[in-house]
Amino acid sequence: MKNIQLTLLALCLLSQACAHNNSTIAPESTPLAATTDSITRSDYTLVFINQAPAFSSQVKERMINTFFTVYPVLANAYNTNTQKTVIFVIDVSYNGVAATSGGRVVYNPEWFRQHPGDIDVVTHEVMHIVQAYPGGAGPGWLTEGIADYVRYRYGVDNAGAGWALPDYTPSQRYDNSYRITARFLIWLEKHVYDKLVKELDESMRNKTYSPGIWQAKTGKTLEQLWNDYAANPAL
């Protein structure tokens, strides 16, 4: 068995060398530096791939716990057909904050080094998995607005991250995305139609969204709704 394992390791190293040829790779990004954990709780599995040896074990544990706290709830609330297995990658080569594609979320370890309390980045990103919108489903500003709406509603420690919705200002527009759109959605849910966000989310996933959905659901156009919000934006 030991000889087989050594042979497999040698083949793995050879294939990596051929694949990368003369490319220069930071030591932290090599497969040998990565660790992989697979955690299953109830119906869901999280595969956690860490390419950063110095990544905080406390942050890692909080990310795992946040996933298992919010993901089943979001699945039940928005999309029971969402993926059962999700992959988190702590990627030393990624320079953003986080990005989701399919069932895989890539995180920047440097972001968490500087902002260890921003744990609800996880909540925002796993909502993108639940959303599962096909290409051309609808506007990107709404996609991100719904994800931040979910972070506001279901986040485990937004206060600890200093994360909050911004106050309304006249320079804002509904399509500014993220927290600005999220606040508008919360206002609409409180003052206009309490099922609006879930129905917008469903329309995007089913690719039935159109600009006319706002009037169909509320009796007013998107512009009219924004004007009402601007006139009295208190939540």
pLDDT band (50, 70, 90) for residue 17: very low
How far CA 74 is from CA of 39, 203, 234, in Å, comes to 19, 17, 26
Task: Read off the pLDDT of residues 166-183 as tens digits, 9 standing for 90 and up.
Answer: 999 999 999 999 999 999
Average pLDDT value over all residues in the chain: 90
Task: Read off the pLDDT of residues 62-121 as tens digits, 9 standing for 90 and up.
Answer: 999 999 999 999 999 999 999 999 999 999 999 999 999 999 999 999 999 999 999 999
Residue extents of the structural domains in the chain: 1-25, 34-132, 133-235
- Residue 156 CB partners (closer than 8 Å, separation 6+): 66, 69, 70, 119, 120, 123
Query: pLDDT at position 51, please?
Result: 98
DSSP conformational letter for 45:
E
**Model pTM greater than 0.75?**
yes
Rounded to whole angstroms, the Cα distance separating 220 from 228 reads 10
- Residue 41 CB partners (closer than 8 Å, separation 6+): 68
- Residue 2 CB partners (closer than 8 Å, separation 6+): none
Contact 157, 101 (CB under 8 A): no
pLDDT band (50, 70, 90) for residue 8: very low
Q: Find where tokens 């895989």 sit.
A: 104
- State mean pLDDT over 22-30: 32
The CATH class for the domain spanning 34-132 reads mainly alpha
Task: Read off the pLDDT of residues 108-157 as tens digits, 9 standing for 90 and up.
Answer: 999 999 999 999 999 999 999 999 999 999 999 999 999 999 999 999 99
Q: Do β-strands 35-41 and 44-50 pair in parallel, antiparallel, or remain unpaired?
A: antiparallel
Query: pLDDT at position 6, please?
Result: 35
Task: Read off the pLDDT of residues 170-221 as tens digits, 9 standing for 90 and up.
Answer: 999 999 999 999 999 999 999 999 999 999 999 999 999 999 999 999 999 9
Residue 27 pLDDT > 70: no
Residue 108 backbone zone (phi > 0: left; psi -120 to 50: alpha; other: beta):
beta
Query: pLDDT at position 197, please?
Result: 99
